[in-house]
Amino acid sequence: MDKNRKIYIAGHKGMVGSAVWRALSQLGYSNLIGKSSKDLDLRNQAQVTEFFEQERPEVVINAAAKVGGILANSEHPYLFLMENLQIQNNLIDGAHHHDVKKFIFLGSSCIYPKMAPQPLKEDYLLTGSLEPTNEWYAIAKIAGVKACEAIRKQFHKDFVSLMPTNLYGPHDNFDLRSSHVLPAMLRKFHDAKQNNEPVELWGSGTPMRELLHVDDMAKAVVYALEHVLPEHLYNVGTGKDVTIKELAHTIQNIVGHQGTIQWDSSKPDGTPRKLMDVSKLNNQGWKAEIDLQTGIKMTYDWFLQNQDTIKTNILS
């Protein structure tokens, strides 16, 4: 891959996009493009078309999405469905019609059926019902995967989809109403430590989650950028998971919270387990490197250093 090739990173200020930008910059890629949502509304087809006509990127990495946890998805189903469809459809179609050489679409493990066998293989896509608490986001991402597959099949273009497991790290969303499980827990334990209070967490604590540091995800994107992958869809994860209770105690210890943990079993657990089978991408040459304990420590250090500027409300 020519390091002067023009690469557009959609969502470059978000957690994933900023990690990809850092990784590429560190490797010497010198022609990166990023546009803030104020400068380019990815939901607006006319603006996206104009952007492609003016900038003519050779590579597009789609790290832009409307994301959130169980509560946010439950309260705003239309928002999560429609805005994600608009963003990815405009980017995929714009890339197709403006001769983009490589397109990397980023999705989520929630595209797989709720009760699919574990670990989740790429072949399980569309073999069963989705988890109701995030099906709107999942349906949008499935549409993106299939659009990239269709372009690859019909026009033989290098469009590839990477489906990460649960991501965390610098520039995550720590708002308690819209964040995912790890940053929400980290924020709760930090606030409880400051106020000398117990921590209340949703559900039973028994579901299992696989967690991937965003810097490892960025390295997977770089790998997909620098190699021609033979298939259209790849899982990205560690291949290991922990229970929500185990995760809570790990975060509690790292934060230094001394109080009790109260579990509200009246709240939903979400999918029982979402362990990814990452053998396909591992066999191509990529593997995760950051263990969970180290990754959480890194994330909490970043949180402490950036409390005044962290993203606190993704739906505002």
82 is in an annotated binding site: no
Query: Is 106 labelled a binding residue?
Result: yes
Greatest alpha-carbon span in the chain: 60
Q: Name the nearest CA neighbour of 23 among 63, 69, 78.
A: 63
Catalytic (active site) residue 137: yes
295 among the known binding-site residues?
Answer: no
- Give how far Cα 21 sits from Cα of 15, 39, 61, 125, 219, Å: 10, 18, 10, 29, 11
* Rounded CA separation 252/306 (Å): 20
Residue 243 annotated in ligand binding: no
Is there a binding annotation on residue 190? Answer: no
The catalytic position among 137, 168, 223, 234 is 137
**Is 30 marked as binding a ligand?**
no
DSSP string for residues in 161-176 = EEEE-EEESTT-B--T
What distance in Å separates the CA atoms of residue 299 and residue 179, rounded to the nearest whole number? 14
d(CA 279, CA 276): 9
The answer to whether the annotation marks 4 as part of a ligand binding site is no
Q: Do the annotations mark residue 141 as ligand-binding?
A: yes
**165 has binding-site annotation:** yes
Kindly state the DSSP code that residue 120 receives in the 8-state scheme.
B
- d(C-alpha 183, C-alpha 187), whole Å: 6
Instruction: Say whether 28 counts as a known binding-site residue.
Output: no
Evaluate whether 15 touches 66 at the Cβ level (below 8 Å): no
| Tokens, residue 62 | 């789609």
209 is in an annotated binding site: yes
Q: Which two tokens stand for residue 300?
A: 């909490």
17 is an annotated ligand-binding site residue: yes
Tell me: is residue 119 an annotated ligand-binding position.
Answer: no
3-class secondary-structure state, position 150: helix
Annotated binding site for NADP(+): 11-17, 106-109, 141, 164-167, 180
Active-site residues, by number, are 137
Annotated binding site: 11-17, 106-109, 141, 164-167, 180, 188, 202, 209, 269
Annotated binding site for substrate: 188, 202, 209, 269
